[in-house]
């Protein structure tokens, strides 16, 4: 289902290009504020990057969330290459944020409430190594906070299986194709159909109840 929806959007984009228009223009309004050079960065792999991006994108204190690929061996991979499962890359989201407005611990809380951290083969109905969960840390402080957060989650008793989310050193991050960026805004009907088919919300509701963060 995920591949079929993406292919449909690609066809729409190609058709629009031929006509010289943007058929999938984002409905979001640009903030008009430049991102500071010393902005803090966080990188999360949470299965489908459409959902992970949506969870962070409209969070106060977050400048932007970019969908992309990281953790693998192939330089500047395409979506098709990553979905083949042969590159070692994760679908991930790189978050630029203001630590004066939102802390890294708060970002971790959002992250845990959008994933199944016990699934080492993908997320929900999305299967494959590219959909594994991982936290890519950018410095020692993030590493310590991520480790403590993962340990606290494991001790919480919310899950009846071990937490398998990896904590890895940040690797080169390659932005995904433009049609993937802000997908939840560009193609809301397709996005909602995908999310519904993935069984993402029922799982999060069962684990977190009213505490889950919807993407």
CA proximity to 50, closest of 6, 96, 116: 6
CA proximity to 186, closest of 91, 38, 94, 67: 67
Q: Is 48 a catalytic residue?
A: yes
- Strands annotated E in 59-210: 62-70, 90-97, 122-123, 126-127, 133-137, 166-169, 173-175
Give CA angle at 182 (177, 187), nearest 5°: 100
Q: Cα-Cα-Cα-Cα dihedral of 84, 52, 181, 168, to 10°?
A: -60
Give helix 140-155 / helix 104-112 axis angle, nearest 10°. Answer: 40
Q: Which of 48, 95, 107, 187 is catalytic?
A: 48
Q: Where does residue 182 fall: left (phi above 0), alpha (psi -120 to 50 degrees), or beta otherwise?
A: left
For residues 139 and 53, the answer to whether their CB atoms sit within 8 Å is no
- CA 141 to chain CA centroid, nearest Å: 21
Residue 175 phi, psi (nearest 5): -60, 140
What are the residue numbers of the active site? 48
């Amino acid at each position: 289902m995920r591949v079929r929806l993406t292919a449909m959007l690609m066809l729409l984009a190609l058709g629009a290009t031929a006509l010289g228009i943007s058929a999938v223009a984002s409905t979001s309004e640009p903030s008009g504020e430049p991102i500071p050079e010393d902005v803090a960065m966080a990188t999360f792999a949470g299965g489908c990057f459409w959902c992970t991006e949506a969870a962070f994108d409209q969070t106060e204190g977050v400048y932007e969330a970019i969908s992309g690929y990281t953790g693998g061996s192939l330089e500047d991979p395409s979506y098709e290459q990553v979905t083949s499962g042969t590159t070692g890359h994760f679908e991930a989201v790189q978050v630029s944020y203001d630590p004066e407005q939102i802390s890294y611990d708060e970002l971790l809380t959002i992250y845990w409430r959008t994933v199944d951290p016990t699934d080492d083969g993908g997320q929900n109905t999305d299967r494959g190594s590219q959909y594994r969960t991982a936290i890519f840390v950018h410095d020692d402080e993030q590493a310590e906070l991520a480790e403590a957060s993962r340990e606290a989650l494991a001790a919480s008793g919310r899950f009846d299986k071990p937490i398998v989310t990896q904590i890895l050193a940040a690797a080169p991050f390659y932005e995904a194709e433009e049609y993937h960026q802000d997908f939840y805004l560009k193609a809301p009907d397709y996005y909602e159909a995908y999310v519904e088919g993935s069984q993402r919300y029922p799982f999060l509701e069962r684990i977190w109840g009213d505490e889950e963060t919807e993407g």
